[in-house]
Chain A
Amino acid sequence: MSDETAALSPRDKWFRASVAITAGIAIVAAAVGFIWLPPFQAGARFQGVWNAICQAAGLAQPAPTAAEVVTAGYKTTGVVFTPGMFQGAGAESVGRGATLALRCTMCHGARGMSQANSPNLAGQYAAVVYKELRDYKSGARTSAIMQPLVVGLSDQDMRDLAAYYDYLPRPPAYHPASAGPPPEIVVSGATMRNIPPCAACHGGLDNKTGSPWLDGQPAPYIKAQLEAFKNGTRRNDISEQMRNVARNMTPDEIDAAARYYSSQPP
């Protein structure tokens, strides 16, 4: 009988044998799990031992580059939202924006409140104003009126204009009880037609970045935009998020939403 210290030394043959057996089992098990079994999975292709090991161990792999990508025959938006992208726009930026905005007052009103049927910009989220201006400039959003006006604007000009309009007081959500209950489409959507409540993105329930403030906008403008999303003439929304909503709306729902959001305090 060997004593304990001798038993745990590499000179002991039982010790060597048991370590070898344990290591052998580990290697065989790893080979079965990492190399032998994975190729049996549907869609798998065996591409070498090293690749099989990396795959089974869950190491990130680059997406296949060979696959062709079909590009759109029309312009889509190039704007990317990153967290905090409009934070820290200081008074200076607002001031520059106010100066630039003198060119816009004719249609969007002296303090961003439009008297005509062009959209109000007062209090509009900076992300929205900036994105729409960039989309007009790139041609992702088309408008015979707005596109020529943004040609000369630099990226900084657009940020300044966004900061200025964001700073102005926005028209309140004015929905007095006398106007009756809000339309179903706005507060509950139409779940059976893949329409979430408008309030889930446009404020009221939640605000999704890039969703414009709609309260107080002229009804003809809201209606025209919804129809443009529905029939595909406005395609600048990121990954069709608004087209998917408008596509399934009925004309009555479009009217109801336009009427509801256009309500303004007397």
Chain B
Amino acid sequence: MTGDPPPSSPHDPGAEHALRIERRWASVAVLIVIFLIVMAAVAGVHQATMPQLKLELVDPRTLHVSGEFIESNLGTAVEPDGSVTVRAIGQQYSFVPQCIVVPTDTVVHFRATSGDVVHGFLIDGTNLNTMLIPGFISTATARFSTPIESHMPCHEYCGVGHEGMWGKVKVIDKAAFEKLAADRRRLTCVD
């Protein structure tokens, strides 16, 4: 509009009409922008998957020999502060443990990594979704309110057996979990 000649008179009815329409469109545009910002902020606060807190490294070739990812240490561990920690690995073409069990209404810390190539770690029906990258420990924190049985498909092509790679997640009632945890230090639901 800047190139237009100035209206002949400020009271020109045509120019005034144009100005009104211009303002309306401007307010529609501003409302759209506000809506988008509020939407992003609400989603960011309530549904965000936050970036990982820390960068931790691990040697993917020796996972099975020493450290926290040896097979006997995988699964769900109860922490002194009442939360639980789930340690898992992804490898061609299965997750260990194949079935993860966690309690309801408890803070769950996931710590997972890969023993070979990049795999995906995603729990169906939740916003838990991360990548398992050899050499790095992926962490995530979650809380489940209702008992569910869900699946954990590997969502990153990892080789010719990729389509067969998935695990199970069972969220069970907190009391039932505590009973299971009484006599075992690492819990899984692999049968």
Taking Cβ atoms with an 8 Å cutoff, the residues of A that contact B are 38, 41-44, 55, 58-63, 67, 69-73, 76-78, 80-82, 189-191, 194-197, 199-201, 205-206, 208, 238-241, 244-245, 247
User: Are B70's CB and A208's CB within 8 A?
Assistant: no
The verdict on B160 contacting chain A, using a C-beta distance below 8 Å, is yes
User: Are B163's CB and A61's CB within 8 A?
Assistant: no
Question: How many residues on the B side are at the interface (Cβ–Cβ under 8 A)?
Answer: 47
Measured CA separation A38–B115 after assembly (Å): 30
Taking Cβ atoms with an 8 Å cutoff, the residues of B that contact A are 50, 53-58, 61-65, 67-73, 77, 85, 89, 91-94, 96, 98, 107, 109, 115-116, 137, 139, 141, 159-167, 185-186, 190
In the complex where A55-B53, A76-B71, A244-B94 touch, is A63 in contact with B137 (Cβ < 8 A)? yes
Which residues from B are CB-within-8-Å of A197?
160-161, 164
Which residues from B are CB-within-8-Å of A190?
164
Sample 30 A-B pairs with CB under 8 A, ordered by A number: A38-B53, A42-B141, A43-B107, A55-B54, A62-B56, A63-B56, A63-B57, A67-B85, A70-B72, A70-B185, A71-B70, A71-B73, A72-B72, A78-B65, A189-B161, A194-B93, A194-B166, A194-B167, A195-B164, A197-B161, A200-B92, A200-B93, A200-B160, A206-B159, A239-B91, A239-B96, A239-B115, A240-B94, A241-B91, A247-B190
Which residues from A are CB-within-8-Å of B115?
238-239
Which residues from A are CB-within-8-Å of B71?
72, 76, 239-240
Measured CA separation A195–B98 after assembly (Å): 11
Among A60, A71, A189, A196: residue with most chain B CB under 10 A: A196
Which residues from B are CB-within-8-Å of A247?
98, 190
Measured CA separation A42–B115 after assembly (Å): 27
Measured CA separation A42–B94 after assembly (Å): 29
Name the residue on A nearest B107 (C-beta).
Answer: A43
User: Are B92's CB and A241's CB within 8 A?
Assistant: yes
